[in-house]
Structure 1
Amino acid sequence: MKNGTLHMVGLSGGKDSTATLLLAIDRLGKENVRAVFADTGNEHPETYAYLDYLEHMLGIQVVRLRPDFSAEITNKRMFIARDRRAGRDKRGDKIRWSNKAKRRALAVLQSTGNPFLDLCMLKGRFPTNRARFCTEWLKRDVIVEYVDSVVQDEGRTVVVWQGVRRNESDKRKHAKKIERVAKGYYNFRPLVDWTIEDVFRCIADHGLSANPLYQMLGRVGCTPCIYATKGDVRLLAGSNPEVMDRVRNWEGQVGQASKKGFAAFFQGKELAGTKPGEVSDLVFWERHQIDGILKWAAKEGPFLREDWGRAADDGPSQGAGPRCGSEMGLCE
């Protein structure tokens, strides 16, 4: 029924959201379930292929959402062009954009149509452990806005089925099975008490294969993720060198759009033993931009949790460091 309750599954292409989708279809029928995928523009090609696979095998259509930052970029261009601020920051650098930086940024600050790249150019930086704006802007807000449009425009109650398990992380160990978010908007987490074995068994029992990325990288999500390990970087550099080429190009574009003139995809931890300000900017960025990271990753040796937080969940190092994810379960 058009005015009935809409049961929506936030589908990432990962194991938990896939199992959640299967449960929803089993209980309600595929005609009463809407699978929604928030496309960051930084997904592995295997994830896009896996969504096609699920559509074919289940006879469904996945709604694919991509945020648009063109209006925000237009406003940022106006701000940069008109910036006349006075004063200096805590490091003694001028707050105002210099004329040289303005010309450099305005030459590249245009919408590309790729949500991840556009967001990073808008911010003038890549997300980090302390400023992980990617999940918020590219996943959470996109889903929430979509749910709100259904509630407001279609007049329907929406129940969002989320693939969240309590044993995934400390952040999720107290996750409620069902909760009211707002009027007409509920979250339902049917897997809260499941184990990882339960999840893969559910997928196999339905005659489906899990996303092949679990055999390659051990996780599903942004590729690369800001929490990638040394092993992840090595593997991607060998099996998907185009991913690293893309990161190199993105670093150039985001750097040009930033006030500093430099940007590094992986800078959440001090991989080379230095922090910004402890060495010259040129040395810091040389060590932390992608070519410096590739040299670091190529060095033999065991993974060190200090390198940066482990991204893969449910692996042998589960809990060893930060992981990408949210209470909404949008990345796995």
Structure 2
Amino acid sequence: MEVMEAKPVRHILSLSGGKDSTALAIYLRDKVSDMEYVFMDTGEELPETYEYLEKLEAYLGKPIVRLNPDRPFSHYLELYRGVLPDPRTRWCTRMLKIKPFERYVGDDHVISYIAIRADEPHRKGYISTKPNITPRYPFMEDGIRKEDVYRILEESGLGLPHYYRWRSRSGCYFCFFQQRIEWVGLLENHPDLFERAKRYEKIDHITGERFTWNQRESLEELSKPERIAQIKEECMARPRSESNKNFSLMEILGEDVDINDSQSCLVCHL
């Protein structure tokens, strides 16, 4: 009787285009030779994200597999009756990120490497309910902290993604977790993408029903010159340490300001 050989365990690292998952890919490059690198490409990413991934791909010497959803964002927006994703529903993460990843994995036994650092044990990352996917946290295992991540990126020559100049995290250009100053940054750096995000918003002036990225104000309201000036003033008034006085938005806003991250959204933001 022919004996079926067991399929080998697959090693997969999901990249978000952010600093932590990039640093983890660099950190493990020579430690896990058969690593698969994947990026869940929603089709709604920033140009800087794609540029950064190309640089990382060259550094790794291996392709980064782009995983696309089976339908575009606009399809799911229609399916959800025009209700934009928000911190409570987060259907965009589920449909555009998690499903493509689980489809790529299939039923294979996979070790999924997650870039949560030793100085953020409160975060857990995306942990699949599929029994064939086992999470592993190399940075937590090896005591790698934020300052180590910066060092890894600098020593590799990659540095930080350029969007960190005006944004505090990776993710789609219309991510609802953006703070107002980041929406201003999108308007100033990518006005075309800001306009696309604005077109997704709907306000019924008769019923008062609003489908906007931010519950308190629409992008139309936010983009008024006097409101932009106010947002910038409020941002610059935030306390800054001596180390970040030269103004990096990521440093001033921090990584977890006004966000109660769940496991799923770390797929986008690590």
Match of 1:215 among 165, 170, 186: 165
Identity among equivalent positions (%) equals 28
Cα deviation for residue 57 of structure 1 reads 2.5
Matched residues in 1 for 2:132 and 2:17: separation?
26
Cα deviation for residue 47 of structure 1 reads 0.5
User: CA separation of 1:147/1:297 partners in 2, compared to 1, >3 Å: closer, same or farther?
Assistant: farther
Matched residues in 2 for 1:292 and 1:54: separation?
38
User: CA separation of 1:56/1:325 partners in 2, compared to 1, >3 Å: closer, same or farther?
Assistant: farther
The equivalent residue for 1:270 is 216
Cα deviation for residue 9 of structure 1 reads 0.4
**Unpaired stretches in structure 1, ≥5 consecutive residues:** 70-114, 152-156, 272-287, 306-311
1:116–1:134 Cα contact (<8 Å) kept: yes
Cα deviation for residue 297 of structure 1 reads 4.2
Matched residues in 1 for 2:66 and 2:6: separation?
20
Cα deviation for residue 317 of structure 1 reads 4.5
Match of 1:6 among 3, 10, 28: 10
Query: Which one-letter code corresponds to 2:79 in the other structure?
Result: L
Query: Which one-letter code corresponds to 1:119 in the other structure?
Result: Y
The equivalent residue for 1:43 is 45
1:37–1:64 Cα contact (<8 Å) kept: yes
Superimposed CA distance per residue, residues 154-191 of structure 1 (whole angstroms, 9 cap, x where no aligned partner):
xxx21111112354484x1xx49xx8965432111112
1:127-276 matches, cutoff 5 A: 127-149=85-107, 151=108, 157-165=109-117, 167-168=119-120, 170=122, 172=123, 175=124, 182-192=130-140, 193-251=143-201, 264-267=211-214, 269-271=215-217
The equivalent residue for 1:78 is none
Cα deviation for residue 209 of structure 1 reads 2.5
User: CA separation of 1:315/1:26 partners in 2, compared to 1, >3 Å: closer, same or farther?
Assistant: farther
What TM-score do the two structures reach when normalised by structure 2?
0.77
Cα deviation for residue 270 of structure 1 reads 2.7
Matched residues in 1 for 2:15 and 2:137: separation?
13
1:231–1:297 Cα contact (<8 Å) kept: no
Query: Which one-letter code corresponds to 1:38 in the other structure?
Result: M
Cα deviation for residue 49 of structure 1 reads 1.3
Matched residues in 1 for 2:259 and 2:155: separation?
32
The equivalent residue for 1:80 is none
Query: Which one-letter code corresponds to 1:194 in the other structure?
Result: I
1:164–1:328 Cα contact (<8 Å) kept: no
Query: Which one-letter code corresponds to 1:37 in the other structure?
Result: F
Q: Which moved more, 1:203-212 or 1:234-243?
A: 203-212
The equivalent residue for 1:276 is none
Superimposed CA distance per residue, residues 190-216 of structure 1 (whole angstroms, 9 cap, x where no aligned partner):
123432111121122233322222233
2:93–2:264 Cα contact (<8 Å) kept: no
Matched residues in 1 for 2:148 and 2:14: separation?
19
Superimposed CA distance per residue, residues 19-48 of structure 1 (whole angstroms, 9 cap, x where no aligned partner):
12122222022xx11101111222101101
The equivalent residue for 2:24 is 20
User: CA separation of 1:211/1:324 partners in 2, compared to 1, >3 Å: closer, same or farther?
Assistant: farther
The equivalent residue for 1:298 is 228
Query: Which one-letter code corresponds to 1:185 in the other structure?
Result: I
Superimposed CA distance per residue, residues 52-98 of structure 1 (whole angstroms, 9 cap, x where no aligned partner):
111222211111111113xxxxxxxxxxxxxxxxxxxxxxxxxxxxx
Answer yes or no: is 1:330 the counterpart of 2:259: no
Answer yes or no: is 1:120 the counterpart of 2:80: no
2:94–2:264 Cα contact (<8 Å) kept: no
1:168–1:314 Cα contact (<8 Å) kept: no
Superimposed CA distance per residue, residues 198-242 of structure 1 (whole angstroms, 9 cap, x where no aligned partner):
112112223332222223323221213202112112222112111
